[in-house]
Chains A and B, each alone.
Chain A
Amino acid sequence: MKARIIVTPKKAVLDPQGKSVQNALEHMGYQGIGEVHVGKYLEIELAGADKESWRRKIDEACHRILSNPVIEDYKFEIE
């Protein structure tokens, strides 16, 4: 199994990287570009098949280290 985790900056937090990418896309001529947010993608290989147990552990790990709840949100899937 694998956990696929996406960490993104919270909406209220300044995201200069997102803004910079947004500007670049607009300068390149892409029409209709809205706000861009740059985050992180983590892929973690998991042993065994106990999806529910991993769901709890990954959620805890996301909260404790993989994201910083002060500035980031996360979501993940396990499959």
Chain B
Amino acid sequence: MNFAVLQFPASNCDQDALHVLKNVLGQSARFVWHKENSLTDIDAVVIPGGFSYGDYLRTGAIARFSPIMEAVRAFAANGGPVLGICNGFQILCEAGLLAGALIRNRSLQFRCEHVFIKTGNPNSPFTNRSPPGKILRVPIAHGEGCYFADEPTLERLKSNGQILWQYSDASGQLTESSNPNGSLWNIAGICNEAGNVAGLMPHPERASEDILGSADGRLIFESLIFWLEHKMAGAA
């Protein structure tokens, strides 16, 4: 599969994402600079973490106006899968491609640690390879990861199965103490209504090799690859 990893000024997880896709998962992947305006021959887009544009104004607020985001919008509208990680999730929310917003952590602290996440919907392009009941152990590193949406939006996310991941304890209980940032409903990641655009605050690309302490993040990328292969086989 051909992956695009977007690069904005001050993206800083772009190399990690490309490394996992190419070297760990054997996919074809290339960087796409934010000034570019097309995604030719791309099967999936990853918007990596970082502090695009210094996070000035609000996280992701300025990046969403980069030329490449118009191409991402068209790619997504056409059913192409887009995964936003951390700052990438914030950018997708600011761009209106995902519902809600990410605000300052309730603790006001930057949280950098491993957390557990539970898969809410096992049938999405991003979760289909997670074994049932498997709790993923993945790292977070953010100051603004508290997910907020108004009540009607939250209800829609719940009833449509758009809540893909929730912070939990090791046994999968959605407790207050396992929620690192005060997110509504322990939300760690969501998808759009069509299911092809997803974002999450944890970093699966930092947990895709055993040497890094956890390889659970691979399941998210493997889900996406499996879904793409399936889709292409269906189209052929």
Answer yes or no: are A and B bound together in one complex: yes
Q: Tell me the A residues contacting B by CB distance below 8 Å.
A: 9, 12-14, 16-17, 20, 65-66, 68, 70-71
Known: A13-B103, A13-B148. A68 touches B58 (CB 8 A): yes
Separation of A19 and B107 alpha carbons in the complex (Å): 11
- B57 interface neighbour in A17, A20, A66, A70, Cβ under 8 Å: A66
Taking CB atoms, residues of chain B closer than 8 Å to A68 are: 58, 61, 94, 101
- A20 with B150: CB separation less than 8 A: no
Q: Report the 10 A-B pairs with minimum CB-CB distance, sorted nearest first.
A: A70-B101, A71-B101, A16-B108, A16-B106, A68-B101, A13-B148, A16-B104, A71-B103, A68-B58, A71-B148
Where the two chains meet, the residues of B that have a C-beta atom closer than 8 Å to any C-beta of A are: 57-58, 61-62, 65, 93-94, 100-101, 103-108, 146, 148-150, 182
Nearest-CB distance from B98 to chain A (Å)? 11
Residues of chain A lying within 8 A (CB to CB) of residue B146: 14
Give the complex CA separation of A52 and B150 in angstroms. Answer: 33
A12 touches B94 (CB 8 A): no
Q: Which residues of B contact A9 (CB under 8 A)?
A: 103
Q: Is the interface of B mostly helix, strand, loop or mixed?
A: loop
A9 to chain B, nearest CB (A): 8
- Provide the bound-state CA to CA distance between A30 and B58, in Å: 31
Please give, as numbers and ranges, the residues of chain B lying within 8 Å of A14 by CB-CB distance. Answer: 103, 106, 146, 148, 182
Check B104 against A17 for contact (C-beta < 8 Å).
Answer: yes
A–B complex contacts, Cβ < 8 Å, 26 sampled: A9-B103, A13-B103, A14-B103, A14-B146, A14-B148, A16-B104, A16-B105, A16-B106, A16-B107, A16-B182, A17-B104, A20-B108, A65-B57, A65-B61, A65-B62, A65-B65, A66-B57, A68-B58, A68-B61, A68-B101, A70-B93, A70-B101, A70-B148, A70-B150, A71-B101, A71-B148
Q: Are A70 and B105 in contact (CB under 8 A)?
A: no
Residues of chain A within 8 A of B57, CB atoms compared: 65-66
User: Which residues of B are found within 8 Å of A66, using beta-carbon distances?
Assistant: 57
Contacts of B100 in A (CB 8 A): 70
Contacts of B103 in A (CB 8 A): 9, 13-14, 71
* A71 and B99 alpha carbons, distance in the complex (Å): 12
Contacts of B105 in A (CB 8 A): 16
Evaluate contact between A17 and B101: CB separation under 8 angstroms.
no
The answer to whether A12 and B150 touch across the interface, beta carbons within 8 angstroms, is yes
Closest Cβ neighbor of B106 among chain A residues: A16
Please measure, in the bound complex, the distance between the C-alpha atom of A17 and the C-alpha atom of B108, giving whole angstroms. Answer: 7
Q: How far is the CA of A49 from the CA of B157 in the complex (A)?
A: 46
**Closest Cβ neighbor of B103 among chain A residues:** A71
